[in-house]
Structure 1
């Protein structure tokens, strides 16, 4: 497929060519059923077996405890902004919470956690407590999120009996990310949480790129598939049993975790094609992890190491460009994302257009930053290879 470009876009993201080739076959004939995956009944025995395999492979890769459910839904991460609030408030009431408007704690580190917080406020069903908001004013007068707060920022700020505590691990737009090193001052403050606090995490941009630390401290983890493991249209929700079985007539059924649990994610027609391609990606991840000497359950460590290598290469070129006055980083040291590296081109919009145009002429697309912040954004999801990153580095050097 020599005519394919390198996709550095933030989502929908690159997918492995081997998976796309296999998916083409499945569009015509899904697992020798004689019918294509886009045509098959989601209630057929063949699809039911497949979706159970997708769930099991996800459990293996994440080493997911048995008291968590894996659910497949539509609506993207954005629908979960509302679903999280509705389901967690129902759980708060079911366990005897008495506050008329329960506290909901939000850690705001970028555009997506800010949107989630604003949706919780818009619903007006609880008191939204912003634990920390890292938005600052940049040199150009624009508001920006350029860092992850120091762990000391959270001390004595969490509510005593919150209905939920919400954070976004990696902010795709702003290029900031909680540090994987739990000793780092910019890691997530797991040790500062109230005992038994219902923790909710948006993992969309880093899901399946590396292991999830302290997965058993979370009540809910959700992720859009269109970053590391599949096409747009599928949202994965991982929810602990005690938060997944709450009946409440105030929750629309399409947003109810219990409805998804009871129907095994088949309350209505799920995004069948997206689930199929995601399943192919997960199979490949397990195979590649094994090929590189990892037990199946430790394949994510392999992908995590690749991610670090790719991000390190881009950041090294970025620092060289900063030293030469060509590039300008947008994120403070220690807060940068390994999935979405963001920076500006010195010289304004004309120079930015020159950089993006030159990249496209060399077969590299998706490098323009989010429309709300501009600049350059290099997304390094699982399907982006080290060789492709090397081509970008070569171009960055040529541009300098």
Structure 2
């Protein structure tokens, strides 16, 4: 592992090595067809099976109830910011948004183009916490309540599922989907971009309760219409066939490696390795996020003092790159360092980063 690149990037992110080897094996000739999946017609029996297998494996993996539909859509999480509004907001023309980080803030801004947006939480300069639900005032007439379960940029992850009674709950799970068991029945819509835990960039998984279908706004483009996508089995237009193939292999890899509970157990070990170094460094490393909502997937921290020290951070990043640990620079909007610990990141690889952090701190302390 000494000369191996370890990619801590927030996305497109590291893929399991087993999956990459399977992709490599079938890249030119997929299961004896003489075709690459990238060349395969999306109307062919071969691709139809790939599509069906991916949906069935996901349904089994997550425990998706029979009254929920699985969609594979394009446009990424950003496209879903509009799609959610176009498909759901028409009921009352208003929606509640819980803004706890950069991505939910962008989603709320996008939603203002389609209806009235109620910002449930007070605006803050920095996103470091999730106010308890007892402080919220939700609108019982809202078309839906929207939140982002894990904020990739800010490192804030919900430690509970909001209770919204009869109002559909919509959740952006792009950066922690398939990293822990979830009760799908608590949600109206779940969506997740593939490029974190699910596969490669270019496809978005949507899980939608069937009673929420069939009510899009008249202005909804066909490509963003949940109902049209479902009726066409996610092959309304030409899908990114290769990406769905990779995603299907990732689902099987997760099943072979303990399922969602296995991914969750690993995520706790990995994130604890890094947070323990931060907490024991007497402020040399500092994570601004409240401990109860620290992300298991994206660990942001500063070096040198609570507000960060750019010289030390630059030195640390150069050291990491010299050791083949890459993509650790924090998002441009918050700075600092960010270690993304998605499902494909192993405990052993995370330990290498933890050891380097400990060594760097020890050298500077002397």
Q: Does 1:314 align with 2:274?
A: yes
Deviations 1:228-265 (A, max 9, x none): 12011110010111112335532100110011011110
TM-score (norm 1): 0.87
Question: How large is the RMSD of aligned CA atoms in angstroms?
Answer: 1.4
The count of residues paired between Structure 1 and Structure 2 equals 358
| Structure 1 ranges of 4+ moved more than 6 A | none
- The correspondence of residues 379-394 of structure 1 with structure 2, limited to 5 A, is 379-394=340-355
Q: Does 1:226 align with 2:195?
A: yes
The aligned residue for residue 106 of structure 2 is: 115
Inter-partner Cα distance in structure 2 for 1:248 and 1:259:
13
The aligned residue for residue 189 of structure 1 is: 162
Any conservation in 1 of the 2:3–2:323 contact (CA below 8 Å)? Answer: no
Deviations 1:62-118 (A, max 9, x none): 11100111000111000000000010024x1xxxx5xxxx22100000000000000
TM-score (norm 2): 0.95
Inter-partner Cα distance in structure 2 for 1:241 and 1:249:
19
The aligned residue for residue 151 of structure 2 is: 171
The aligned residue for residue 367 of structure 1 is: 328
Any conservation in 1 of the 2:86–2:216 contact (CA below 8 Å)? Answer: no
Inter-partner Cα distance in structure 1 for 2:12 and 2:231:
30
Q: Does 1:128 align with 2:132?
A: no
Q: Does 1:304 align with 2:258?
A: no
Q: Which runs of 5+ in 2 are unaligned?
A: 362-366
Q: Which runs of 5+ in 1 are unaligned?
A: 137-142, 180-186, 290-298
Q: Does 1:14 align with 2:5?
A: no
Inter-partner Cα distance in structure 2 for 1:340 and 1:303:
15
Inter-partner Cα distance in structure 1 for 2:291 and 2:250:
33
Any conservation in 2 of the 1:105–1:165 contact (CA below 8 Å)? Answer: yes
**Which of 198, 204, 226 is equivalent to 2:168?**
198
Inter-partner Cα distance in structure 1 for 2:187 and 2:128:
26
Task: Go from structure 1 to structure 2 and tell me whether the alpha carbon gap of 1:226 and 1:391 turns closer, same or farther (over 3 Å shift).
Answer: same
